[in-house]
Structure 1
């Protein structure tokens, strides 16, 4: 990917009923959604030995649970499928089960995919500055990078949402007008539960919440997550690391410096069967802590307010220690999967101020990343 490629990242405003939001999504991003379906068909076949017919069968099980627990989001997925069909770009029909499969792809894969991601929340209190930083590098298959989109969603009676997402997926990484934001780290652990909501739907539900506490309460009411995942969630008052699973969640608190950082293994949730799977995850976690300590030491308490998106991209998210499994991830020549950092987002929430974020597509500091995109736009 070159910076020129990333200059064309779509920015969409979707509004209306759940079905209308989905219909607009499907129509406007139909080429990308069709490409995503092609990518994931092949990925399921290669990594999991699943044909798409089997994937759709499992998606049907998830559809029943989604209809029960989050019917509005299922309506949105129906709208996405109809929007793709209306675009008439493919002879192959796309229906709601295909879209459910995209939204439940982490769960259907049963933890058989390799990915990364490093996330950071930092509550900063310095002279003249009180703010909450929430940020991450999102690492995934290189082929997906060209399809990413920035989406704003307006719904009656709910906060406005801004997020970076994969086309066809209803919830991803971003924030809302109430200064509630989410990041995501994949965890490989068993079992999964088709009766609970896939993680991408929980991300969307969090983005419809008024606070961290409200999002956690909703997750508990819904029974938890269908698979093991980590959501780093924050609002103006602070952050929690939600180590979610079908067997229960553990919620991490900030350390003495107001920091929560996470990679791709559980730190405290011991309820699941989690064999070691990504050797670089503990290394990245320790490296993340080290960089934060270095910044605290260099800036001191008086200048911590200088920690912002630009500084974090330069010092934290562009770090290549232990490459290719670094905070800034590059494809590993010893693995078939070409996984790399596809975007970086740094969100900032502060009392009495509008929430905002800076996003770059590609690897921070590589010289090939996109320009900085502002959210809201």
Structure 2
């Protein structure tokens, strides 16, 4: 039996429809579970029934048909393979937008430029524990685009990972308004980044489609460039590396002031300051070059429990209602050096003693 710390690995190949069908058939049970989980979450957090959620998904269906028809076709394939309606799958892929910021994925991301120039891109992804069993490691091979590897939720076409051109993505959720269903959902934007040949190509693609539907942060990097993309429907800001070659981010905007973003996650600024302190400590003792690796980052940064439960390595808060508690579900560290391109993934809270083994991408 596959445990939550030993997730399904899928290799999907072919046309958008074929990729979707393979995804839907292989993860049918997990996708149905996701629909049930998000149905409950929408009711609890947004006072929306699943039928009301599907009505919003209809708006995004029209948008996807115009802006990203190949990914709509893939979603249609997922729906057919999983024996669901396509609106169920669109709802999963637009869940961040439909919830209007009520879903608060608390995550910590970091990109670090090594002395030789290559970037190391890393993240703890924090979310509801009920979703953990429905995560999968997926590779996608499609004509005319780089082969990509990602960790994603069953039924969702784009998330956190990298491609064989060395373009990688991480994600921080932001709670801010407005939301515009005429623009690209953030999980679709992540997939578009993973289909790109460079960071600059990814930015160009998102801009050419008119931007994203909700406020989010994508930390996007390749061998030569890293940018913190603070994206919103009403304007974007791009954060460059600091003098030490670092970009760190949590769950609030640092420079983007185009949106209405009231304070909402008290631990976010604390985590960001802690991230800065920990990287400074490493710099002060001379960490550089190949010293910046997955073992170091997991041990020195991503297992950090300062300010629990809202720590870099998040722990469920027993004072919050059970259905709203979050914890770190996986850590990923991507080496974007073309000479040693790949990623290490650990499911569970790194450093807790209950995490899984180190898994490799590609596998």
TM-score band, normalised by shorter chain: over 0.9
Q: Which runs of 4+ in 1 moved over 3 A?
A: none
Contact in 2 for aligned 1:6/1:369 (Cα 8 Å): no
Unaligned runs of 5+ in 2: none
Which one of the candidate residues 272, 276, 291 is aligned to 1:306? 291
Q: Which residue of 1 aligns with 2:213?
A: 226
Note if 1:147 corresponds to 2:137. Answer: no
Which one of the candidate residues 313, 330, 338 is aligned to 1:328? 313
Which one of the candidate residues 63, 66, 71 is aligned to 2:64? 66
Displacement after TM superposition at 1:131 (Å): 2.3
Note if 1:98 corresponds to 2:83. Answer: no
The separation in 2 between residues aligned to 1:259 and 1:216, in whole angstroms, is 19
Contact in 2 for aligned 1:179/1:354 (Cα 8 Å): no
Note if 1:111 corresponds to 2:96. Answer: no
Q: TM-score, normalised by structure 2?
A: 0.98
Q: Secondary structure at the match of 2:114?
A: strand
Q: TM-score, normalised by structure 1?
A: 0.94
Contact in 1 for aligned 2:346/2:356 (Cα 8 Å): yes
The separation in 2 between residues aligned to 1:201 and 1:348, in whole angstroms, is 23
Which one of the candidate residues 11, 14, 17 is aligned to 2:12? 14
* Matched ranges for 1:1-377 at <5 A: 5-85=3-83, 94-125=84-115, 129-300=116-287, 303-336=288-321, 337-350=324-337, 352-377=338-363
Contact in 2 for aligned 1:9/1:150 (Cα 8 Å): yes
Contact in 1 for aligned 2:6/2:356 (Cα 8 Å): no
Contact in 2 for aligned 1:177/1:354 (Cα 8 Å): no
The separation in 2 between residues aligned to 1:95 and 1:354, in whole angstroms, is 41
Q: Secondary structure at the match of 1:6?
A: coil
The separation in 1 between residues aligned to 2:70 and 2:106, in whole angstroms, is 30
The separation in 2 between residues aligned to 1:344 and 1:113, in whole angstroms, is 20
The separation in 2 between residues aligned to 1:229 and 1:182, in whole angstroms, is 13
Q: Deviations over 1:57-87 (max 9, x none)?
A: 00000110011000000000000000012xx
The separation in 2 between residues aligned to 1:35 and 1:232, in whole angstroms, is 29
Unaligned runs of 5+ in 1: 86-93
Q: Secondary structure at the match of 2:138?
A: strand
Contact in 1 for aligned 2:6/2:347 (Cα 8 Å): no
Q: Secondary structure at the match of 1:299?
A: coil
The separation in 1 between residues aligned to 2:6 and 2:280, in whole angstroms, is 37
Q: Secondary structure at the match of 1:335?
A: coil
The separation in 1 between residues aligned to 2:200 and 2:114, in whole angstroms, is 20
Q: Deviations over 1:279-313 (max 9, x none)?
A: 0000000000110000001125xx44211001100
The separation in 2 between residues aligned to 1:169 and 1:7, in whole angstroms, is 19
Displacement after TM superposition at 1:248 (Å): 1.2
Q: Deviations over 1:355-377 (max 9, x none)?
A: 20000000010111010000000
Q: Deviations over 1:230-254 (max 9, x none)?
A: 0000000121000000001100000
The separation in 1 between residues aligned to 2:251 and 2:33, in whole angstroms, is 27
Q: Deviations over 1:94-129 (max 9, x none)?
A: 11000000000000001112320000000111xxx4
The separation in 1 between residues aligned to 2:330 and 2:160, in whole angstroms, is 10
The separation in 2 between residues aligned to 1:148 and 1:367, in whole angstroms, is 20
Displacement after TM superposition at 1:7 (Å): 4.4
Contact in 2 for aligned 1:296/1:304 (Cα 8 Å): no
